[in-house]
Structure 1
Amino acid sequence: MSITDVFSLFHVDILSIVMISLVSFMGTIVGIFSKNYMKGDALYYRFFLNIFLLIFSVIFMTISDNILIFLISWVCCNILMTQLMIHKATWKAAKASGTLAFRNFTLGFVFIVLAFFLLYRATGSFSIQYIVHHSNDSFYEIAALGMLLMSAMTQSAIWPFHLWLTSSLNSPTPVSAIMHAGIVNGGGFLLVRFAPLYFSTPKILDVIFIAGLVSALLGSVWKLMQYDVKRMLACSTMGQMGFMLVQCGLGLFGAALAHLCWHGMFKAYLFLASGGSAQETRLDLGYPPNLVCFFCALLCGAWGSYVFSIINHHQWLPLDTTLIPVGIVFITGAQLALMILRSRPIKRFLLGMTLTTVVAVLYGTNVYVFDLILSPLRLMQPNPLHPFHISLLIIMTLSWGFILFVRYSNTQSELPCWVLNIYVKMLNTSQPHPSTVTTHHNGYDLGRI
């Protein structure tokens, strides 16, 4: 095999460069943090070797143009992640977490193998670039896209494949950081890499949208029910991966990639700083808000969504699927304003508007820049707006209102029994697998530290 043949197995484009930059940056940060965090550990050097190999495998995967090399890199990433999760193999809960994750990754591996086999049958090529640019809408291709979606869902902890992530909290903090900032993003990268094929099959995009929305709603609600910092962050990651999938389902793969990158960096910071939050008390936001405060917050959210629309050069109420991100910005801006306004909505209204504007400008500019640099790949192709898009946006808005005005009621006696029953069932469903929970201090193994 000549050098030319070797180089033909790889493809470096702007998507690869973005992912390599993200992974390298996060790997460096986690490595610096781990230098002191893991000091004194008996497996100190093995830990750093696994981290290095994991980052190398992710980079190798992002530049692979051959489906076999991509598959090998994918498997290496998951095996190394499992090894890092079971860093303390004598701790039964940690070992159970790693075993659960490995089973999930194995299921995802089966899906992606089937997908690549079907894509090869459909195109007769091992080249990813050839495959994505030669869509034929055959049965093999449609089935392969479904398998790729399932593999992405297992990797990104999308419901109902979320349990491995919410049960992974026994891992060392640096491992949790790189897991939530890198490994779970693998599902998003997989979908973005094969985005041209999904554009040719709108029905599958609708399935992606629904799957993402369900996971986003569940993760967001479950997060509010947790009392443990890491468990809260795990549910948050599940919800954010759901929002990422929603954007893919809307045909906005560029926005999904932007969401993926910024969420990864922010979530890594939250995990690395989670130790300091153990002594903090939760902020009393004064929920449920009074009507004046709520109305002012809605005005701030509406203004923020308008600013977001202007920056991205589309209408405030567009007739395509970009309406959904506008709606999400509206809810996010209103929620942010509620934190500022609280008990003095009139006096703090200008401050709320200013902060909402700043956030809308930052997020809007972020999406616009990603759209600009990824324009050669044409990853932003909004779909026509359908009634079910509107319906699901309404459901999302009502869920937000439920969280504000029902969950934060002062006394449980004010709530109907059926609401309390749903709350208890959702709380139980959000818990990690019992085998991964340590209920007594004797269950911790400190012998290797």
Structure 2
Amino acid sequence: MMVLVVSVFVMVCADNILLLIASWTISNILLARLMLHKHQWKAARQSSVLALKNFTIGFVFLGAALIILYCLTGETSIQAILIRPIAFKWGVLCSVLILLAAMSQSAIWPFHRWLTSSLNSPTPVSAIMHAGLVNGGGFLLARFAPMLAAEPIILNVIFITGIATALLGTLWKLMQSDVKRMLACSTMGQMGFMIAQCGLGLFPAAVAHLCWHGLFKAYLFLASGSAAKEKRLDLDYPPSLKDFLKALFCGLLAAYMFSITSGKHIMVADTTLFLIFLSMIAGAQFALAIIRGHGKAKLLKAIAATLFMGAFYGLNVKIIELILAPLHISVPQPLNVFHFIAATLLLVAWMVMLFMRTNLKHPYPKWLLYGYVKMLNASQPHPKTVTANRNEYQF
């Protein structure tokens, strides 16, 4: 485990392409080895093999990109490579290869199956996997941000891929019946949001996301054993219109506080506005959990909590921007139709989650049942990684 942690630190700090690919490979091999904690357990063995196959694909993509960049520039330093001019076609090719490597590492659709099939791993291994190595895709995109940002079409592809994965992973999470599978789908959704932030050109925000997601998800995995005993929180959905408007007001305050502390203008006409919009939704959803019921004290508590949340998030993004300023990786992009479509989809999905409730007296339409079953089946792990009979588990 210690060797794995050291190799991850080397990967994050590496400026030499040979050191980067070596530490990237060693980290993934060690992770696959940790997943194979019981050689006699067939399902665990298949989980490790599936992950290793996926990591091999990512290694090929990343290795090809680095070889091409070395041949074009003659440099082994990543910083030196990024300041050298590269022809458009080669820049696009290398950007696509790096994107594919990042997608395979961070379980972005359609490279997600290895993550949803990794649940045979011991819980501490799952914690370090979801808190650390699965974030490698976001780190890789941030490392090569200047090259990716030079081609707006690449950023659009990154954004669309990230949003699609975020929506898919979040939807799959709501369908799961066990804790670890739910957390795996949640990680897939969060990685989608992180990649989408890279597609917005807001790479420091993506780095902030991967840091806090890592800490939070590690805690959730390590505490997953007590999930069956915890008290369930009934949010009493759908909320009343009055409570929703209160929460929306709190969300606007959170977004405003985020814009102040992060130094981003709230009326800016670039992709920063999309991030502020997400802060508003997050703040409103957070406030809803506090406002339940009536009382002025609850509203004041929700206002204070959302103001703190917005300020905390904004300061995190600002601090990371300052730390990474020499790398020039904050490159907000002009808003386009893809951003407005994504914002609309997120808003509609949020409204459906809050206000759409089923009537048990009326059956579901067949097309909805068909879609549910298809989505549920698509979210399942690889059949070979499932222990269907307890006798197949070797103690």
Answer yes or no: same fold by TM over 0.5.
Answer: yes
Q: Residue 127 and residue 315 in structure 1: after superposition, are their counterparts in 2 closer, same or farther (change >3 A)?
A: closer
For 2:281, the aligned partner's letter is I
Distance in 2 of aligned mates of 1:120 and 1:208: 24
Distance 1:213 1:345, change over 3 A: farther
What are the equivalent positions in structure 2 for 1:47-446 lying under 5 Å apart?
51-344=1-294, 348-406=298-356, 408-409=357-358, 411=360, 413=362, 415-446=364-395
Q: Secondary structure of the equivalent of 1:348?
A: helix
CA distance in 2, matches of 1:345, 1:404: 21
1:103–1:285: structure 2 CA closer, same or farther, 3 Å change rule? same
Native 8 Å contact 1:118 1:143 kept in 2: no
Distance 1:417 1:305, change over 3 A: farther
Q: Deviations over 1:49-80 (max 9, x none)?
A: xx122112212222333222221211111111
Distance across 1 between alignment mates of 2:355 and 2:121 = 36
In the alignment, structure 2 segments of 5+ residues that lack a partner are none
Alpha-carbon separation, structure 2, partners of 1:282 and 1:94 = 31
Structure 1 residue 410: deviation in Å? 5.0
- 1:433 Cα deviation (Å)? 1.4
Residue 259 of structure 1 aligns with an amino acid whose one-letter code is H
**What's the % identity of the aligned pairs?**
54
The 8 Å contact of residues 108 and 155 in structure 1, kept in 2 or not, is answered as yes
CA drift at 1:252 = 0.7
Aligned equivalents of 1:372 and 1:322: distance in 2? Answer: 16
C-alpha change, 1:443 and 1:281, in structure 2 (3 Å) is farther
Q: Deviation of residue 239 (structure 1)?
A: 0.9
CA–CA separation in structure 1 for the residues paired with 2:155 and 2:360: 42
- Give the TM-score taking structure 2 as reference length: 0.95
Letter in 1 for 2:161: A
Query: Structure 1 pair 217/135, CA: closer, same or farther in 2 (3 Å)?
Result: farther
Q: For 1:314 and 1:189, how far apart are their aligned partners in 2?
A: 23
Alignment partners' CA distance in 1, 2:85 and 2:392: 54
Deviations 1:249-277 (A, max 9, x none): 11111111111111111111111111111
Contact persistence 2:160–2:338 (CA under 8 A): no
Partners of 2:19 and 2:170 in 1: how far apart? 36
- The one-letter amino acid of 2:220's match is L
1:281, distance to aligned residue in structure 2 (A): 4.4
Kindly tell me: are residues 184 and 369 of structure 1, through their superposed partners in 2, closer, same or farther at Cα, counting changes over 3 Å? same
Which amino acid is the alignment partner of residue 383 of structure 2?
A: P
Displacement of 1:345 after TM fit? Answer: 7.0
CA distance in 1, matches of 2:295, 2:65: 53
Q: What amino acid sits opposite 1:335 in the alignment?
A: Q
Change (3 A) 1:412 1:303: farther
The CA deviation at 1:180 is 0.6
CA deviation vs aligned residue, 1:383-436 (integer Å, no higher than 9, x gap): 111122112111111111122233x43538365433333222222211111221
Letter in 2 for 1:233: L
Instruction: Report if the CA contact (8 A) 1:121-1:140 is conserved.
Output: no
d(CA) in 2 for partners of 1:345 and 1:138? 60
How far apart in 1 are the matches of 2:83 and 2:315?
A: 29
Residue pair 1:135, 1:200 contacting (<8 A) in 2 also: no
Shift of 1:279: 2.1
Structure 1 residue ranges without an equivalent (≥5): 1-50
